[in-house]
Amino acid sequence: MAAAQVLRSEWTKIKSVNSTALTLSLAVIVSVGLGMLISALSKNEFKNLSTEDKLTFDPTFTAFSGLTLGQLALVVFGVLVVGSEYSTGMIRTSLAAVPQRATFLFSKVAVAALLALAVALITSFAAFFLGQAMLGNHSTDLGSPNVLRAVIGAAVYMTLMAVFAMGVASILRSPMLSLGILMPFLFLVSPILGNVSATKKVAQYFPDQAGAKIMQVVTPPNDDAPYGPYGGLVILLVWVVVALLVGYALLKKRDA
């Protein structure tokens, strides 16, 4: 099957998954809504901050406060795009139609990643503009140094987290198992270890914590990570590439 036909086929399959529209919509609603709420609260509490906190206040990153939770919807999307093939038994039919397993997997990832990126761009720009509206006098704008980088970076970050989830699902071949590992890791394990001094230096190399640096315009005073925004993005990209390559290696080796 030609590559263009495979891409069209994957687009059709993604659209046919009932949860696609729901998960992508939740990513936007949760990210933007929670970001607006936290931005409004931050505006009201700004006068109570210490001098140091006022000087290091990051209005851009504040508007992205909801992305931490909203990204989980994109992670679910990434898992279901790959995992639903196995849970429904469609993987046998898919591999019979596209025996070139690299073409099959990476076409699926490419189509899903482009869709995730489109949704993530809408999310990041909406979260930024509406968050700044809530911040009032404490807001910033796209023309300020590094702000546009952070807004676009937020969309890239969310997209890469979805692709990372696709890689994990291709390794585990089960949506339930994949979500059972990714959700507790991203929602509990990573934040907890990142706030414990004994494990903080390890946790800062986790994909979510490293990648989130690209959304920062101002470095928090307690952030001692030995890399900057682009370094964090590279670390996340390494996680993504490794997950996809391992997933492909196992797909090539194992029976459907």
Over range 249-253, report the average pLDDT.
Answer: 90
- pLDDT band for position 4 (cuts 50, 70, 90): confident
- pLDDT band for position 1 (cuts 50, 70, 90): low
Instruction: Tell which residue, 166, 117, 122, 143, has the closest CA to residue 60.
Output: 143
- Number of structural domains found in the chain: 1
Q: Report the SS3 class of residue 208.
A: helix
Instruction: Tell which residue, 155, 190, 186, has the closest CA to residue 76.
Output: 186
Tens-place pLDDT, residues 49-72 = 888 888 889 999 999 999 988 999
Give whole-number Cα distances, 159 to 80, 114, 207, in Å: 15, 8, 12
- pLDDT band for position 110 (cuts 50, 70, 90): very high
User: 13: domain range?
Assistant: 3-253
Report the length, in residues, of the chain: 256
Over range 173-187, report the average pLDDT.
Answer: 93
Distance CA 205, CA 239 (A): 10
Q: Using alpha carbons only, what angle is made at residue 107 by residues 254 and 183, rounded to the nearest 5 degrees? A: 70
pLDDT of 256 reads 54
The set of long-range contacts for 223-228, using a CB threshold of 8 Å and a minimum separation of 24, is none
Global confidence as pTM: 0.93
Better-predicted residue by pLDDT, 4 or 38: 38
pLDDT of 28 reads 95
Tens-place pLDDT, residues 112-163 = 999 999 999 999 999 999 999 999 999 999 999 999 999 999 999 999 999 9
Over range 90-94, report the average pLDDT.
Answer: 81
